Amino acid sequence: MSPLNPGFSTLAVHAGAAPDPTTGARATPIYQTTSFVFNDADHAAALFGLQQFGNIYTRIMNPTQAVLEERVAALEGGTAALAVASGHAAQMLIFHTIMQPGANFVAARRLYGGSINQFGHAFKNFDWHVRWADTDDPASFEAAIDDETRAIFIESLANPGGTFVDISAIADIAHRRGLPLIVDNTMASPYLLRPLEHGADIIVHSLTKFLGGHGNSMGGILVDGGTFDWSKSGKYPMVSEPRPEYGGIVLHETFGNIAFAIAARVLGLRDLGPAISPFNAFMIQTGIETLPLRMQKHCDNALEVARWLKQHPKIAWVNYAGLEDDPNHLLQQHYSPKGAGSVFTFGIRGGYEAGKNFVEGLQLFSHLANIGDTRSLVIHPASTTHRQLTEEQQIAAGAGPDVVRLSIGIEDAADIIADLDQALAKVT
Ligand SMILES: *Cc1c(COP(=O)(O)O)cnc(C)c1O
């Protein structure tokens, strides 16, 4: 790319992409192929032995995926990335790379409901153990760490509560204890917040949400910050010990500051298999081209809607860090001054029943389990995304019985507010 120091919007459009060398196609083609022809037998051997980078088989790597990976790595300021089939698959590959049976990690209690399930249920079957801590009290993370701890996991902007987290305070704790900090940056997107600049080591995204941005394609990605020394403690053998299947190479020695992303690809994705389809990679990288425009409009609309709801007599409370009197406002101003995101929660007077009636009365809003679409979305977390949790876990995750969650789209704010207004008028 020609500019020496391209800005965020330039990277969103160009990073990773060049005209197709064969056809001159300007948009990245969808390389809809399972496999790639080797030049000769030595070339094939070098690719399989990790002596040379190159395409072998789309489960492991594909040129359309590669553009997406390079683009998100550039937007986050990381060294390398690995795109996979979903946000959950990316989380799975991150932990597969760093955990062993009997090991644990410390995670924020305030997380996306699906992550609470994945960590507490599926991971338990691998004998990987999550310990919950409270982001309002960073010391609780330190208290949960022991010799078997391998990482700390937080969301930069927590789903569904819409609360910002003091990333650098938690990064300091992680690094003092020799651990990497993993940050799920799905809700903020790198347009609002780049956690690597605040001490994070690994970033994970559900590409399904704001990065893809149009509610049409599943995907996930992990970004290697290139900052963490995986060899020091002996706790991360996948990265720091010889790999017999690759001729005894040590990934950390061979690949340096991209060793984590390489390990997740050539050990995790190779064996576990959740590859993203080239078509979804294409859809998501096209979405990313307009991320800065969309994200700003999401934030501006959400602030206008939150202000309007706040003064409405049928609304008990609004939890939006963009509001000046919100307890989270100072953290938002520090970490995400361009806006507070598009997702927030509020409580409707009349509790569970009123919430249900309200959701059913909306017409422009779609009632569904997603966030980060161009369209405005609504859900009642306690009966849906957070349903499998106990009521205590629901409240801790910011998804108690009276909570309604909105994901504000990029329509005209006046139309979004008019829809909320007519639905509230019908609630008795
Ligand atoms: C949706 C979501 C995930 C999971 O991503 P999928 O693409 O649905 O697998 C993880 N974290 C957060 C914050 C999310 O919103």
Q: What is the pLDDT of residue 356?
A: 84
| Residue reference for tokens 């934030």 | 299
Q: How far is the CA of 160 from the centre of ligand 1 (A)?
A: 11
Residue 125 Cα distances to 100, 120, 121, angstroms: 12, 9, 7
Pairing of strands 343-348, 403-407: antiparallel
Question: For residue 186, which atom of ligand 1 is closest to its CA?
Answer: 13
Q: Give the pLDDT confidence of 252-307 residue by residue, as tens digits.
A: 999 999 999 999 999 999 999 999 999 999 999 999 999 999 999 999 999 999 99
Question: For residue 371, which atom of ligand 1 is closest to its CA?
Answer: 15
| Residue reference for tokens 């070339």 | 43
DSSP line for 332-375: HHHH-TT---SEEEEEETTHHHHHHHHHHH-SSSEESS--S-SS
Structural contact between residues 345 and 403, judged by C-beta atoms closer than 8 angstroms: yes
Please tell me the distance from the alpha carbon of residue 179 to that of residue 233, in angstroms, as a whole number. 9
Q: Give the pLDDT confidence of 333-362 residue by residue, as tens digits.
A: 999 999 999 999 999 998 788 888 899 999
Please tell me the distance from the alpha carbon of residue 318 to that of residue 301, in angstroms, as a whole number. 15
pTM of the model: 0.96
Percent of the chain, pLDDT > 90?
Answer: 87
Q: How far is the CA of 89 from the centre of ligand 1 (A)?
A: 10
- Tell me how crowded residue 96 is: count the other CB atoms within 10 A of its CB: 19
Structural contact between residues 419 and 359, judged by C-beta atoms closer than 8 angstroms: no
Structural contact between residues 105 and 150, judged by C-beta atoms closer than 8 angstroms: yes
Structural contact between residues 178 and 143, judged by C-beta atoms closer than 8 angstroms: no
Please tell me the distance from the alpha carbon of residue 334 to that of residue 193, in angstroms, as a whole number. 10
Task: Give 10-residue mean pLDDT values along the chain (428 residues).
Answer: 85 97 96 96 92 94 98 98 98 98 96 93 97 95 98 93 93 98 98 98 98 98 97 95 94 97 97 98 98 98 98 95 96 98 93 86 95 95 80 79 92 98 93
Q: What is the pLDDT of residue 2?
A: 65
Question: For residue 220, which atom of ligand 1 is closest to its CA?
Answer: 7
Tell me the backbone φ, ψ of residue 264, rounded to 5 degrees.
-65, -35
- Tell me how crowded residue 412 is: count the other CB atoms within 10 A of its CB: 11
To test the pocket of ligand 1, the residue of 115, 135, 276, 342 to mutate (highest count of ligand atoms within 8 Å of its CB) is: 115
Please tell me the distance from the alpha carbon of residue 162 to that of residue 187, in angstroms, as a whole number. 8
For the beta sheet containing 104-108, the strands, ordered from the edge strand earlier in sequence to the opposite edge, are: 80-84, 220-224, 202-206, 181-184, 149-155, 104-108, 129-133
Residue 131 pairs in a beta bridge with 106
Q: Which domains does the chain have, with CATH numbers?
A: 8-287 (3.40.640.10), 291-425 (3.90.1150.10)
Q: What is the pLDDT of residue 251?
A: 96
Q: What is the pLDDT of residue 23?
A: 96
Residue 405 pairs in a beta bridge with 345, 379
